[in-house]
Homo-oligomer: A and B are copies of this chain.
Amino acid sequence: MHVFYTPDIGSDVYVLNEEESRHCTRVLRLGTGAVVYLIDGIGGLYKAEITGETKRQVNLRIIEVQKEYHKRRHYLHIAVAPTKNIDRLEWFLEKATEIGIEEITPVICDRSERKVVKEDRLNKVITAAVKQSLQAYHPRLNPQISLSAFLKQKNDSLKMIAHCVDAAARQYISDVVKPAGSYTILIGPEGDFTGQEIEMALQSGYKPLTLGNTRLRTETAALAACFEVNYLNR
């Protein structure tokens, strides 16, 4: 099953760009009559047939359309501190896309050793996972932002912050999440949020979360939250 990401698809015909045309004809060795699948990133899954090809251009005709393919009834936004080793953040993006996530924001915290992420690179990772796991919805990656600025943004979803500071107040996601909701979950950097950051978040209406009694790495904590929210919305 060959999948192409085609956010600019409009009519019942489509022309693959030069890079993807080369991939289609040279790597996949596909020719006229072959069937491929297109994803528009906003819920559309298209079955298409190759009607003609050159090395540089592959013409497709849409033969079947599914809208709102595997649409989820909830909306999950995870704001996570980029990991020092960027592979760990990229790994999270790939896995979260497979499991189910709508929006990701890299937040820079006081203890963040990494202060900069390459948005293009991270988006490529997400797009690859979208195609591989056949997600018709492309998760949205926001530009990086400081935690303090992020907390000031208008946000009407159910807001939660996972941290490791022992406090009886912390609850499990399953204690606070109701199905079919919209959620924002904050995940801190290696070394956790500072007490001041947690205080700021609580004052901004974030509910304190625990993800269990084991020490989880940043990217594992973020994925654990992603798993639990999707499980509760199954």
Contacts and interface: CB of A to CB of B under 8 A. Distances in A.
Contact of A91 (B91, B98, B216): B91
One complex includes copies of this chain to the number of 2
Nearest to A214: B133
A226 to B, nearest CB: 9
Given A220-B99, A224-B227, A234-B172, A214 B70 contact: yes
A228 interface: yes
A100 B135 contact: no
Interface in A176-234: 212-217, 220, 223-224, 227-228, 230-231, 234
Contacts of A215: 98, 132-134
Nearest to A97: B214
Contacts of A70: 213-214
A95 interface: yes
A135 to B, nearest CB: 7
A80 to B, nearest CB: 15
Given A91-B91, A224-B227, A227-B224, A216 B133 contact: yes
Contacts of A214: 70, 98-100, 133-135
Interface string A36-51: 0000000000000000
A95 B220 contact: yes
Contacts of A227: 224, 227-228, 231
Contacts of A217: 98, 132-133
A212 B224 contact: no
Contacts of A95: 220, 223
Given A91-B91, A227-B227, A234 B220 contact: no
B234 A231 contact: no
Contact of A216 (B98, B216, B223, B224): B98
7 contacts: A132-B217, A133-B216, A133-B217, A212-B234, A227-B227, A227-B231, A231-B231
Given A132-B217, A133-B217, 17 more contacts: A70-B213, A95-B220, A98-B214, A98-B217, A98-B220, A99-B220, A132-B215, A133-B214, A133-B215, A134-B215, A135-B214, A172-B234, A174-B231, A223-B223, A227-B228, A227-B231, A231-B231
